[in-house]
A and B are shown apart, each in its own frame.
Chain A
Amino acid sequence: MNNTSSTQAPSEGLYAPLKITAIYTLIGGLWILFSDRLLAALVSDPETLTRLQTFKGWFYVIVTAWLLYVLVQRSTTAIWRSGQALRESEERCRALFEQASDGIFIADLQGNYLDVNTSGCRMLGYSREEISQLNIRDLIPAEDQATALLRLDELHAGNTIISECQLRRKDGTLIPVEISAKMLADGRLQEIVRDITERKQAEEALRESEARYRSLTNDVLDSSAVGIFILDSDFRIVWVNQAMERYFGLRRDEVIGKDKRQLIRERIKEIFEEPERFAQKVLATYEDNTYIENFECHVLPDGEREERWLEHWSQPIRSGLYEGGRIEHYYDITERKRAEEALRKSELMFQSLIGRAPFSIWVCDEEGTVTFANQAALDLFGVTDPTQIIGRYNIYRDTTEDEKPLLAYFERAWAGEVVRYRQDLDMTTVKYETACRGTLHLYSTLFAIPSDGSQRSNIVVVQEDITERVKAEDALRQKVKDLAALYAASQVFLGPIDVKTTLETACRLAVEHFGLKMAWVGLIVEGDYEVHPAAAYGFEDGYLDSIRVTWDDSPAGHGPTGTAIRTAQAVPMNRIDTDPAYKPWRAAAMARGYRSSAALPLLYGEAEVLGVLNVYSAEPDYFTPDRLQVLQSLANLAALGLQKARLREQEQRYAAELEQRVAERTAELGEVNAELESFAYSVSHDLRAPLRAMQGFAQALLEDYADRLDPIGQEYAHRIVAAAGHMDTLIRDLLSYSRLSRAALHLQPVSLASVVADVLTQLEGELRKREAQVTVEEPLPQVVGHYATLIQVVGNLLTNAVKFVRPEIQPQVRVWAEEREEWIRLWVEDNGIGIAPEHQERIFRVFERLHGIEAYPGTGIGLAIVRKGVERMGGRVGVESEPNRGSRFWVELPKVKSKA
């Protein structure tokens, strides 16, 4: 109220008192007029009325007095106050003058300084007195003086001039200042000088910052790979960068200044895939520009514009020039998107791989807890709820006692090894419902994969269900065993064994290979329907004696055996206890622990049944088709063996018969031989005796009674002697020949040299008589032969060589030996009468002579003996000769093989 009254113009202040007086007068007038009337109306009592009128009167006076007081007080106070205010204002003015941070200089119109404040002094470094000596021109440097002076004129005109220039300080430095000069009412010049050093610096800084900013925006931001829209608070596009142009295919000058909303509406369909979604999202931010928006969008290609994936990221601008606006970033995430796509595909493939892999894959973390199991793994163990296992099953905590060895494998895997092992699990003990109810065979591979920096890596377990394979292997192994057994059986059956052994072996092999309780073979006999056991093996305990088996139509013929024989097929009897066909023999069988049996016909060829192999097991249902097949093979082999044994037995019988016959023949021959031997002996012995007599007595006659015999008589006696002698030689030679034919010669190395020497000694007399000259050329090697026989041979040859020589010629015999490969050829060459070619074969026969006895004595057996003897020694004889050219007889005998 004070302020308003002191600043009011006087003319205006005049109105106020007028108004007040007018109002007072009005109100008073009215009061006076109407108060009496009111009272009179209200109060009827004249006393009260008078009193009230008095009161009214006094009331009126009080009120008027109060109003008067208030007014007078007010005006005096106002006058005092304004006087005070004026003083205060003066003081303040002065204080302000002094305390102003800006320098205030007062100068006259010529520019001489009249007054200056403290700041001004400080600013320039002068004292007040110094300044009061100076002129404006002193402080303004030369370059600015022109402008300063020009401006003085303007000041005269009454304007306030604000200019910037520099002032020289006392120390000579220049400071930039802003001078606000004004002509005061009293004609003085007032200069408010502000030190704008800081401002200048700030301006400089701003310029720099602006330049940086510009550089930032123009160079850096402009060329950044992020498309940027800067929108003002009306969402008009204020600034965009080059990337924006590139990404959206819009030109900068097209969009700057445009309302972004409009731009969106116009261009969006051709730029984006799903333009509605884009529009909706972005426009929503303009509606409510308070939050950060972030989404992905897909820019379609068009000519130069490439297809891109962009990430929109925008936020409100909260401060600065464009406060209330929005900044939008578009990041090119095409690569990322592509990478994501590739990753997704790879992820998908990986998932498929893991998920659809036909083997189990488990992953355990470094503590042994299962963190992953693929579908195959879960299916294998019949796990329907994966959460039961994943994250919960721990190998240290949850494995059973017999699974503990697995822990060692895990440790090895953590140590870096790739562990492979086989597991055979008994699935009947596992608590999950698995498909496999027997034994599950797994082949597991354990290895570690690096995890993200934690102390131990993860372990991957790959398990392959090899149950089928194991089953196949087991089946194969069984097959191999079966085949080996059958092979062994075949080796036995086809070997040299008799019927009984064959059948017993069949039973034994069946029992041993299959672990049966008993097996027996029954043979079929022609004309008999009963099957008789021929061999058995195993725990029989009189069973075969107690039963009767046939193959006729009776109940005894309708068991497995009979059926097998009639049908030539294997007949199993897997439930002895219940099958009605086995009734006749059930009790006996059960008593001995037989629970199943089979009858295998011994099939020879295609359809010939020789007998039946019956087998018994202590297990019911033992004879599966597989086993029956093997047993049938065995039975067939046995049939083969049986036939073979039978044939062999027959053969043996024949052979025995033959041998017997041969033995008989040999005995006969031996007898004949012996007879011949004794005959020859008799011949020689008995024939010789008369010869001795003939010869002896004829000679006695000649010697003792020569004087009583005339020449003819003497000649007769001579002839008797000669004849006897001749017969003796004949007999001797014949004996020799016959002995050669019969005797078995033991051949051994014989020295030809010794033989020849011995012969020469034996024939010494004869050789001398004939004056024969025998030359033996050494060396005479060894031959394989018989000594005595060789003596005979060589003797006969030499005798002949000397004998068959013309009487007047001196026999000359040459003996030498020749090596001919494996043979030694002994030559006996003479200078005798020779042998014509047509006779060269005959002379080796018995009794063949080419000359009369008179001409050359001899029995005609000599060369026959030579040939026989040499042949018995395994050699050959021959002769090379021509009549009158001598003969060369040769004898070939085997060379002694040197052992060296």
Chain B
Amino acid sequence: MNLTHYTILLVEDDSNDVLLIQRAFRKANLANPLQVVRDGEDAIAYLAGQAPYTNREHYPLPVLLLLDLKLPRKSGFEVLAWLRQQPGLKRLPVVVLTSSSRTADINQAYELGANSYLVKPVAFDALLDMVRTLNLYWLILNEKPDVTDEA
């Protein structure tokens, strides 16, 4: 199994955060392709295989979803809620990656079916550690469920 080609989909609206995460991935030597969408609707379009993400060659289904909560158009909760309703997609592991440490948000996320909840650290080094751990846990250790485009 070629682990290096498992796509990770990042849903994040803040460009700084996107850059930093990408840098963290580089620093962590992760070869996995990191797809980025900038809002909730886009996320849903991607996952649903809708335009402009119909081409699964270019936009493969991810094995892990990194989901921010505060998103334009549709919030992370809405995406999550939608996701868990999709017959083929609902098993997709979701790690919420957000700046909110509010208990209500944490509970809500798990309520809606998030698999994990991480708070974006301010220090980059911490972010780097987090990415490494994510990789180690979710991509290497964790057993992945079947995720399909099935409607």
What's the minimum C-beta distance from B123 to chain A, rounded to whole angstroms?
Answer: 6
Q: Which residues of the other chain, A, contact B100 by a CB distance below 8 angstroms?
A: 681, 684-685
What's the minimum C-beta distance from B79 to chain A, rounded to whole angstroms?
Answer: 18
What's the minimum C-beta distance from B120 to chain A, rounded to whole angstroms?
Answer: 6
* B16/A693 in contact, CB under 8 A: yes
What's the minimum C-beta distance from A815 to chain B, rounded to whole angstroms?
Answer: 28
B73 within 8 A of A: no
How many Å lie between the Cα of A695 and that of B17 in the bound state? 11
* A689/B124 in contact, CB under 8 A: no
In the complex where A699-B124, A700-B23, A700-B124 touch, is A692 in contact with B17 (Cβ < 8 A)?
yes
* B125/A724 in contact, CB under 8 A: no
How many Å lie between the Cα of A688 and that of B97 in the bound state? 13
* A696/B127 in contact, CB under 8 A: yes
How many Å lie between the Cα of A134 and that of B127 in the bound state? 206
In the complex where A696-B124, A700-B124 touch, is A684 in contact with B17 (Cβ < 8 A)?
no
B58 within 8 A of A: no
A697 within 8 A of B: yes
* A693/B17 in contact, CB under 8 A: yes
Q: Which residues of the other chain, B, contact A695 by a CB distance below 8 angstroms?
A: 122-124
Q: Which residues of the other chain, A, contact B102 by a CB distance below 8 angstroms?
A: 681
What's the minimum C-beta distance from A753 to chain B, rounded to whole angstroms?
Answer: 26
How many Å lie between the Cα of A693 and that of B123 in the bound state? 9
* B124/A725 in contact, CB under 8 A: no
Within 8 A of B (CB), among A727-752: 728, 735
Q: Identify the closest chain B residue to A743 (Cβ).
A: B103
B74 within 8 A of A: no
Q: Which residues of the other chain, B, contact A728 by a CB distance below 8 angstroms?
A: 122-123
Q: Which residues of the other chain, B, contact A699 by a CB distance below 8 angstroms?
A: 123-125
What's the minimum C-beta distance from B66 to chain A, rounded to whole angstroms?
Answer: 15
What's the minimum C-beta distance from B63 to chain A, rounded to whole angstroms?
Answer: 26
Q: Identify the closest chain B residue to A700 (Cβ).
A: B23
How many Å lie between the Cα of A644 and that of B94 in the bound state? 66
* A692/B125 in contact, CB under 8 A: no
* A688/B16 in contact, CB under 8 A: no
B133 within 8 A of A: no
Within 8 A of A (CB), among B93-143: 98-102, 120-125, 127
What's the minimum C-beta distance from B73 to chain A, rounded to whole angstroms?
Answer: 18
Within 8 A of A (CB), among B15-51: 16-17, 19-20, 23
* A696/B23 in contact, CB under 8 A: yes
Interface centre among A685, A699, A700 (most CB of B within 10 A): A685
What's the minimum C-beta distance from B16 to chain A, rounded to whole angstroms?
Answer: 4
* B16/A689 in contact, CB under 8 A: yes
How many Å lie between the Cα of A695 and that of B122 in the bound state? 7
Within 8 A of B (CB), among A61-104: none
How many Å lie between the Cα of A692 and that of B97 in the bound state? 13
* A684/B124 in contact, CB under 8 A: no
Q: Which residues of the other chain, A, contact B122 by a CB distance below 8 angstroms?
A: 688, 691-692, 695, 724-725, 728
* A692/B20 in contact, CB under 8 A: yes
How many Å lie between the Cα of A685 and that of B70 in the bound state? 9
Q: Identify the closest chain B residue to A699 (Cβ).
A: B124
Q: Which residues of the other chain, A, contact B23 by a CB distance below 8 angstroms?
A: 696, 700
How many Å lie between the Cα of A420 and that of B70 in the bound state? 101
* A689/B125 in contact, CB under 8 A: no
How many Å lie between the Cα of A314 and that of B43 in the bound state? 163
Q: Which residues of the other chain, A, contact B19 by a CB distance below 8 angstroms?
A: 696-697
Within 8 A of B (CB), among A697-712: 697, 699-700
How many Å lie between the Cα of A136 and that of B102 in the bound state? 190
How many Å lie between the Cα of A725 and that of B123 in the bound state? 7
What's the minimum C-beta distance from A706 to chain B, rounded to whole angstroms?
Answer: 15
How many Å lie between the Cα of A685 and that of B98 in the bound state? 9
How many Å lie between the Cα of A690 and that of B16 in the bound state? 8
Q: Which residues of the other chain, A, contact B123 by a CB distance below 8 angstroms?
A: 695, 699, 725, 728
What's the minimum C-beta distance from B71 to chain A, rounded to whole angstroms?
Answer: 12
B149 within 8 A of A: no
Binary CB contact string for chain A from 829 to 846 against chain B (1 if under 8 A, 0 otherwise):
000000000000000000
Q: Which residues of the other chain, B, contact A725 by a CB distance below 8 angstroms?
A: 122-123
* A696/B99 in contact, CB under 8 A: no
Q: Identify the closest chain B residue to A695 (Cβ).
A: B122
Q: Which residues of the other chain, B, contact A700 by a CB distance below 8 angstroms?
A: 20, 23, 124
What's the minimum C-beta distance from A822 to chain B, rounded to whole angstroms?
Answer: 31
Q: List 25 A-B contacts (CB under 8 A).
A: A681-B100, A684-B99, A684-B100, A684-B101, A685-B100, A688-B99, A688-B122, A689-B14, A690-B16, A692-B16, A692-B20, A692-B120, A692-B121, A693-B14, A693-B20, A695-B123, A696-B16, A696-B19, A696-B124, A696-B127, A699-B123, A699-B124, A699-B125, A725-B123, A728-B122
Given A684-B99, A692-B121, 12 more pairs with CB closer than 8 A: A681-B100, A681-B102, A684-B100, A685-B70, A689-B99, A692-B120, A693-B16, A696-B19, A696-B20, A697-B19, A697-B20, A728-B123
Question: Lowest 5 CB-CB distances: which A-B pairs, in order?
Answer: A693-B16, A728-B122, A696-B20, A696-B124, A699-B124
Please report B residues at the A interface, Cβ cutoff 8 Å.
14, 16-17, 19-20, 23, 70, 98-102, 120-125, 127
Please report A residues at the B interface, Cβ cutoff 8 Å.
681, 684-685, 688-693, 695-697, 699-700, 724-725, 728, 735
